[in-house]
Amino acid sequence: MIDTPELSLAALAPLLFVLGAACVGVLVESFVPRENRHPVQVGVALAGTLGGLVTTLALAGERTVTAEGALAVDGAAVFLQATIAGLGALAVLLFAERSLDPARSAFVASAAVPAGTARDRELATSEQVQTEVYPLATFAIGGMMLFVSANDLLVMFVALEVLSLPLYLICGMARRRRLLSQEAAVKYFLLGAFASAFFLYGLALVYGATGSIRFSEIRAASTAEGTGTLLVLGLGLLVVGLMFKASVAPFHAWTPDVYQGAPTPVTAFMAACTKVAAFGAILRLLYVAFGTSEWTWRPLVYGIAIVSMVVGAVLALTQTDLKRMLAYSSIAHAGFLLTGVIGLGGDGGGSGLAATMFYLLAYGLTTLGAFAVLTLVREGDGEATHLSRWAGLARRSPLTAAVMALFMLALAGIPLTSGFTGKFAVFRAAIDAGAWPLVVVAVLASAVAAFFYLRVMVLMYFSDPAPDGPTVGVPGLPTTIVLAVTATATLVLGIVPGAVLDLADQAAIFVG
C-alpha cells in the first residue's frame, strides 16, 4: 500500500486553473473549426488567466507548504502569482487586438511558411492567425506562476523551462518583419538554453554540497557546514541562470535584440511578466535557501545591481529605436529591483521584500502600458518604432502622446506616478539595510535614465511633425482596456499607494 502524497488542491487552484486553460487551448486548436478559433482561444486564455487571478486572490493569507514540500504557497507567492495572472490577462488582451493591423493581428498567419515566399505574401493580407499563440502564452503564464512558488530546485528548473519554451516560440511569430522576429527567436532560444544549462549545473553542485534540493534543507545544511566551495560555486551558477531570465546586466545581451524583434504584444508580455517571475524566484532562492549564507551572495548581487543600473541607463541614451530603448530601460529597472533585493535581511526582516514586490507590480503595469502605446503608432504596414518618427506626435494625437508621457514619467520615477513610489520604497529598504553607496549609484542612474525618458516627451511635444509622419491607429476594445487599466494604475499607485503598499507589506512572508 503506497500512501498518496500530501497535496492541497485548494492551494494549487490558481496553477491548475491556468495550466488547465492552456490544455483546453490545445484541444480547441484540434477540434474547433479554423474560422471560429480566434475568439474561442481568446476566451479560453482570458478565462484561464482571470480565473487564476480570482483563485489567487481567494488564497490571500494562505501560508502552506504543499505537494510534499515542493511548493510553497505563502504571502509572497500569492502576491506575485496574482500580479503575473493579472498582467498576463492584460497581455492576452493585447494579443487579441484586431483593429490596428490591416491584416487584423500582430501574429503571423502561418509560422511554417518561409518568410518572403509567394505563399507568404499571399498570406500577409489574409485574416488567418496562428492561434497557437494563446495556449502557448497561457502555458508561459502557468510556468511563471509555478516559478514564484517553487520550493525546491527541481520544480524551479521545470517551471523555468515551462515558462521559457513557449516564449521562444511566440517571439518568432510576428506578422510584419518576419526575418527580425525569427532572428530574435533564435537568439533568445540559444542564449536561453545556454543560461538554463548554467542554472542546471549550479543546481547539481548545490545538490552535491548539501545532499538535498529542498530549500529548507539547503538552508539547514549551509548553516551546518559553513560555506563550502562547491556551495558557493553552485549558488553563483544558479544566480547567473536566474539573472539571465530577469535580463540583468551583464547577462542582458539578448534583451535588446529580442525585445526589438519580437511582436510588440509579446515584448510587452515578456517585459512585464517574465521580470516578475524571475525576481520572485531570485528572492525566494536567496532568502529561503541561502538566507543564512547571506554574505556569500550579497557582494555579488551588490555588484551586479550597480553594473545593471549603469549599463541600462547609459546604453539607453544611445538608442534610436523605442523598443530597444525600453529594453535597456528594463535592464536599468532590473538593477533598481536588485537594490530592493539587497534591502532584505537574511532573517527575512527589513522592508526589501515588500518594496520589491510593489516595484514589480508598478513596473509591470507601466511597461505593459508603454508597449501598448507603441502598437498604436504605425506607418505602412508595421509599427513606427524609430524615435524620429515620433516627432510632433502630440499634435497628431494629443491623447496618445499624453498617455505615453505618463508612462515615461512613471518609468523615470517622477513623483505622483507609481514609478516614484516603487523607487522610493526599494531605495529606503536598501538604506535601512546599510547599502547607502548602492542607493547613491541608483539615484545617479535614475537621473541619467530620466534624460532619455524625457527626450521622448520633448520629441512628442516640442518638435514639428514630419509631413509624411506615422498614423495613430484607433485601438479596438482590448487595447483600450489595457491602456485604461495601466494608466489608471500608474496614477493610483503614485497618488494613493497606501493600500497596495500595506497589502505588499502583509504579503511579505516566505514560508519554507
User: What 3-state class would DSSP assign to 343?
Assistant: coil
CB of 382 to other proteins, least distance (A): 14
Q: Which of 59, 77, 205, 442 binds other proteins (CB under 8 A)?
A: 205
Start-to-end CA distance of the chain, whole Å, equals 29
Q: Which of 80, 140, 203, 307 binds other proteins (CB under 8 A)?
A: 203
Return all residues near 134 (Cβ < 8 A) that are at least 6 apart.
25, 41, 42, 44, 45, 92, 95
Question: C-alpha 139: how far from its chain's center?
Answer: 15
213 binds other proteins, rule: CB under 8 A: yes
176 binds other proteins, rule: CB under 8 A: no
298 binds other proteins, rule: CB under 8 A: no
211 binds other proteins, rule: CB under 8 A: yes
CB of 156 to other proteins, least distance (A): 11
Q: 62 or 183, CB closer to other proteins?
A: 183
Q: 208 or 349, CB closer to other proteins?
A: 208
63 binds other proteins, rule: CB under 8 A: no
Binding part of the chain for other proteins, among 197-205, 441-449, 464-472, 489-497 by CB under 8 A, reads: 197-205
Q: 172 or 413, CB closer to other proteins?
A: 172
Q: Which of 47, 186, 414, 454 binds other proteins (CB under 8 A)?
A: 186
User: What 3-state class would DSSP assign to 112?
Assistant: coil
Query: What dihedral angle (degrees, nearest 10) is formed by the CA atoms of 39, 45, 50, 53?
Result: -170
User: Which sign does the torsion angle of CA 482, 483, 485, 491 carry?
Assistant: positive
313 binds other proteins, rule: CB under 8 A: no
Q: 161 or 432, CB closer to other proteins?
A: 161
505 binds other proteins, rule: CB under 8 A: no
Q: Which of 187, 298, 395, 428 binds other proteins (CB under 8 A)?
A: 187
5 binds other proteins, rule: CB under 8 A: no
Q: Which three cell numbers stand for residue 406?
A: 505618463
Binding part of the chain for other proteins, among 52-60, 70-78, 151-159, 360-368 by CB under 8 A, reads: 151-159
Interface map 103-122 toward other proteins (x if CB under 8 A) = --------xx-xxx------
Q: 63 or 177, CB closer to other proteins?
A: 177
Q: Which three cell numbers stand for residue 78?
A: 500569492
257 binds other proteins, rule: CB under 8 A: yes
Task: Give the C-alpha separation, 90 to 490, whole Å.
Answer: 14
Task: Give the C-alpha separation, 172 to 381, whole Å.
Answer: 18
Within 318-412, residue ranges assigned H as helices are 322-342, 352-374, 393-396, 398-412
Contact 426, 459 (CB under 8 A): no
Task: Supply the DSSP symbol for 211.
Answer: S
Binding part of the chain for other proteins, among 62-70, 76-84, 171-179, 359-367 by CB under 8 A, reads: 171-179
168 binds other proteins, rule: CB under 8 A: yes
b/e burial code for range 25-44 (CB count within 10 A of at least 16 → b): bbebbeebeeeebbebbbeb
Query: What dihedral angle (degrees, nearest 10) is formed by the CA atoms of 148, 224, 300, 412?
Result: 40
Give residues in contact with other proteins (CB under 8 A): 111-112, 114-116, 154, 157-158, 161, 165, 168-169, 172, 178-180, 182-187, 189-190, 193-194, 197, 200-201, 203-205, 207-208, 211-213, 256-257, 260-261, 318
